[in-house]
């Protein structure tokens, strides 16, 4: 099985530390063992002519290889008119070396994997992709509607890697009620609109690393319920930025770590968002963040006006740590780099802001804001957990060590919503001066 490092055959090399993970992640059997039985979709009627619907051939190939085999989609351009739900697999892989282009118009999920264990979806060349052509929907309807590209539901011991997901009509990739999974070496590129999330995860024991996301909604987002999630080497390249939420009733999120997150010209570096609700977020850390040109840096907002208020006194945030942040926000006077606005009915406790060196790219001051938030650092208060009104902290001198490296693939502009978005080349790195944990396919 695969733990959180390299896979050699079916042997996992255990890491020195699992971060927030609770155990091993990834397929239980090797890629090579699954390759002993292959089902090539072109043997089931698929044609690389960008016209013939790959949906039925893909379903048939899965039926024959779902127990111990590999479904192969060779290099070439394939159309997808009908969506597929592939379920009840075991020790199975999908090798996507071609490019699938959306031609269907339904909502739902273009590709859904469910109730499956020991699963792998990958490109052996690093050139496999799904092109959702979401701009066609957005341009014609003026709305954000349509299909998600990829959804995993109740999948255990799995990996998804070395793929590109491009221009989804709605969301790009979600993991719902999954366990022991690894996602890595991926490029996700969407339009400049909300509702085009990159990766959404509400699962247990998931490792997401070395991923680049362009969109205007969530980059990599943890939703409820989730536990034991490790997210690292993330490149939010003109995105909404990373987030938790939106959080509502009976929230249950714990043991989550984000580290090595680079955010370029996005909405925020990290946000926790809710309004009302109940439950908890606890034992969470955000470490080694770099940001340039973002509207917000740290944005904890439990009165988030973009969501409808949920019944309840608020989600309780406890033991939340921000450490080693650097860079600059676009305008620190209007949107300070620290915003910790907690619910008066459930004040935040044990919040730590440490080694936080973020300055403003416009002007010469920053205004941080805290409300009903307790801990150490910036405008946080010591003491009890009673609610208190918002307080401001004005900073007029640049902090030491705020300058930070940029990335070679930083985009100069977004892709809008009305023109085709090109399939990106996988970047060689997803965080400054950090080599991807697993070798990029085809490199």
> Using CA atoms, how far apart are residues 102 and 91, in angstroms rounded to an integer?
28
The answer as to whether 227 is a domain residue is: no
Give the tens place of pLDDT for each residue, 352-371: 999 999 999 999 999 999 99
Q: How confident is the model at residue 383 (pLDDT cuts 50, 70, 90)?
A: confident
pLDDT tens digits for 272-326? 999 999 999 999 999 999 999 999 999 999 999 999 999 999 999 999 999 999 9
For 116-137, how does the pLDDT look when each residue is reduced to its tens digit (9 = 90+)?
Answer: 999 999 999 999 999 999 999 9
What average pLDDT does range 209-235 have in this prediction? Answer: 97
Same domain for 266 and 147: no
Contact 91, 130 (CB under 8 A): no
Same-domain status, 205 and 303: no
Judge if 239 and 211 occupy the same domain: no
> Any idea what the CATH number is for the domain that residue 247 is in?
2.160.20.10
Distance (Å, rounded) from C-alpha 347 to C-alpha 303?
Answer: 12
| Residue where one domain finishes, among candidates 216, 242, 277 | 216
d(CA 318, CA 291): 25
Position 87 scores a pLDDT of 98
* Joined tokens for residue 273: 């968002």
**Domain co-membership, 249 together with 280:** yes
Tell whether 196 and 289 lie within a shared domain.
no
CA neighbours within 13 Å on the CB side: how many for 309? 7
> For the residues 335-352, what does the mean pLDDT come to?
97
Q: Which residues are catalytic?
A: 217, 292
Does some domain include residue 312? yes
- pTM score above 0.85: yes
* 339 touches 299 (CB < 8 A): yes
> pLDDT tens for residues 168-189?
999 999 999 999 999 999 999 9
Domain range for residue 148?
Answer: 24-216
- Residue 3 inside a domain? The answer is no
- The C-alpha angle 269, 270, 271, rounded to 5 degrees, equals 135
- Cis (ω within 30 of 0) for the bond into 246? yes
Are both 283 and 321 inside the same structural domain?
yes
DSSP string, 279-346: EEEEEEEEEEEEEEEES-SEEEETB-TTSPPBSSS-PEEEEEEEEEEEEEES-TTTS-SEEEE--TTS
Question: What integer is the mean pLDDT of 230-249?
Answer: 97
For residue 416, being part of any structural domain is answered with: no
Tell the residue number behind the tokens 């650092």, with chain if given: 377
How buried is 192 (Cβ within 10 angstroms: 0-12 exposed, 13-18 middle, 19+ buried)? buried
- Relative to beta strand 173-189, strand 147-166 is parallel
- Are residues 192 and 274 both part of a single domain? no
Let me know if 319 is exposed, middle or buried by CB neighbors in 10 A (0-12, 13-18, 19+): middle
Task: State the pLDDT at residue 142.
Answer: 80
- 249 touches 275 (CB < 8 A): no
Angle at 202 between CA 197 and CA 204, to 5 degrees: 140
The model's pLDDT over 407-429, given as tens digits with 9 standing for 90+, comes to 999 999 999 999 999 999 999 99
Within this chain, do residues 291 and 249 fall inside the same structural domain, yes or no?
yes
212 and 258 in a single domain? The answer is: no
Strand pairing category for 391-395 and 366-371: antiparallel
Contact 222/194 with Cβ under 8 angstroms? no
Distance of alpha carbon 197 from its chain centroid, rounded?
Answer: 8
Tell me how many domains the chain contains.
2
Mean pLDDT score of the chain: 94
Same domain, 328 and 246: yes
Give yes or no for residue 17 having a pLDDT over 80: no
Residue 62 within a domain:
yes
Residues 175 and 312 in one domain: no
Q: Which residue shows structure tokens 């390249």?
A: 237
The answer to whether residues 54 and 150 belong to one domain is yes
């Amino acid at each position: 099985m695969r733990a959180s490092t390299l896979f050699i055959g079916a042997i996992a090399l255990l890491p020195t530390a699992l971060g927030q993970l609770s155990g091993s992640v990834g397929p239980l059997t090797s890629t090579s063992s699954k390759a002993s039985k292959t089902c090539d979709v072109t043997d089931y009627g698929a044609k690389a002519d960008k016209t013939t619907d790959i949906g039925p051939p893909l379903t048939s190939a899965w039926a024959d290889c779902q127990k111990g085999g590999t479904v192969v989609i060779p290099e070439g351009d394939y159309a997808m008119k009908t969506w597929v739900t592939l379920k009840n697999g075991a020790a199975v892989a999908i090798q996507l070396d071609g490019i699938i282009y959306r031609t269907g118009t339904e909502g739902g999920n273009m590709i859904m994997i469910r109730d499956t264990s020991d699963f792998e979806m990958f490109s052996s060349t690093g050139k496999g992709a799904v092109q959702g052509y979401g701009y066609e929907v957005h341009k014609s309807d003026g709305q954000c509607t349509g299909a998600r590209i990829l959804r995993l539901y109740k999948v255990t011991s799995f990996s998804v890697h070395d793929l590109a997901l491009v221009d989804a009509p709605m969301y790009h990739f979600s993991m719902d009620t999954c366990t022991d999974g690894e996602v890595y070496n991926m490029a996700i590129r969407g339009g400049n609109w909300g509702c085009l999330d990159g990766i959404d995860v509400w699962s247990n024991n998931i490792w997401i690393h070395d991923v680049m996301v362009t969109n205007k909604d969530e980059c990599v987002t943890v939703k409820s319920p989730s536990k034991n999630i490790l997210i690292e080497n993330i490149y939010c390249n003109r995105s909404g930025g990373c987030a938790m939420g939106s959080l509502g009733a009976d929230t249950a999120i714990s043991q989550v770590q984000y580290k090595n997150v680079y955010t370029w010209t996005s909405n925020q570096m990290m946000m926790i968002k809710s309004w009302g609700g109940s439950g908890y977020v606890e034992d969470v850390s955000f470490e080694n963040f770099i940001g340039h040109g973002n509207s917000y840096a740290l944005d904890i907002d439990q009165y988030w006006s973009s969501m409808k208020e949920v019944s309840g006194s608020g989600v309780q945030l406890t033991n939340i740590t921000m450490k080693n942040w650097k860079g600059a926000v676009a305008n620190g006077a209007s949107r300070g780099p620290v915003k910790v606005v907690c619910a008066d009915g459930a004040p935040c406790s044990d919040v730590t802001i440490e080694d936080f060196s973020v300055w403003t790219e416009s002007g010469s001051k920053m205004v941080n804001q805290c409300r009903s938030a307790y801990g150490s650092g910036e405008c946080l208060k010591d003491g009890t957990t009673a609610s208190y009104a918002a307080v401001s902290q004005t900073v007029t001198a640049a902090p030491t060590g705020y300058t930070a490296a940029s990335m070679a693939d930083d985009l100069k502009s977004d892709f809008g919503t009305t023109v085709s978005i090109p399939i990106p080349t996988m970047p060689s790195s997803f965080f400054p001066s950090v080599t991807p944990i697993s070798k990029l396919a085809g490199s």
